Amino acid sequence: MSVIARTKRLIIREMTLAQSDIDGIFALYEDPRMTEFMEPLFPYDEEVEYEKNYIERVYAYYGYGLWLLEEKSSKEIIGRAGVEYREGCEKNEGELGFQVSFKRQREGFAFEALTKIVELSFDEFQFDSLRARINPKNLPSIALAKKLGMKPTNTFEKDSKGNLDEIYRLRKED
C-alpha cells in the first residue's frame, strides 16, 4: 500500500487488491444514491480485474490516479478522490474526481482530501490547471468546487449516462 498523503483525519492512499480494499469500495456503492451522478462499479469479478489493471497501468505509469480515503481513527474506507488525466483535459491539466460515502458526507472529508490533492497536483504532479466535471443538479459538489476556488466555465460535456456536466476549473496561478 502506497500512502500518497496524510491529513488531519485521513490517509490518502493507493487502492490495493486486498480483500478489505475491494470490500471497502463495494461498501461505498451499496447506497444507490452513489451512482446518481457517476458510473457504478462493474460486477464483482470484472471490477477486481479493472482495479488490477488500474493499479498496474495508471498508478505505475502516471504516479497519480484515484485513491482511497481511509479514516485514520477507524481505518474505514470512506471514499475515493484523486486526479487523473482524462479526455477533454487541456495540456497539463488534471481532472479531479471524488466521492464520500453517503453516511459520512457533510463532515468535511471531501474538502480536507481535495485541499491536499490540489496542493499535490500543482506542486508535485506539475499540473497547470485542474478541472472537475459536475452535473448541474449535484449542488453539494458544486459548492465543494467553489470552496476549493474552482470557477464554472460555462462549458458542458456529456457524461457516460448522456447527461451534461459543467466543467469547473482552477488554474495554478489563481
**Which three-class secondary structure state does DSSP give residue 159?**
coil
DSSP character string of 8-44: SSEEEE---SSHHHHHHHHHHTSSGGGGSSSPPPPPH
CATH number (domain holding residue 133): 3.40.630.30
Q: How many domains does the chain have?
A: 1
Grid cell locating 129: 490547471
Question: Which has more confidence, 161 or 141?
Answer: 141
Q: How many CB atoms lie within 10 A of CB 80?
A: 21
What is the extent of the structural domain holding 83? 3-171
pTM as predicted = 0.93
Name the band, by pLDDT with cuts 50, 70 and 90, for residue 1. Answer: low
Quick check: 12 pLDDT over 80? yes
Mean pLDDT of 124-137: 96
Mean pLDDT of 61-76: 96
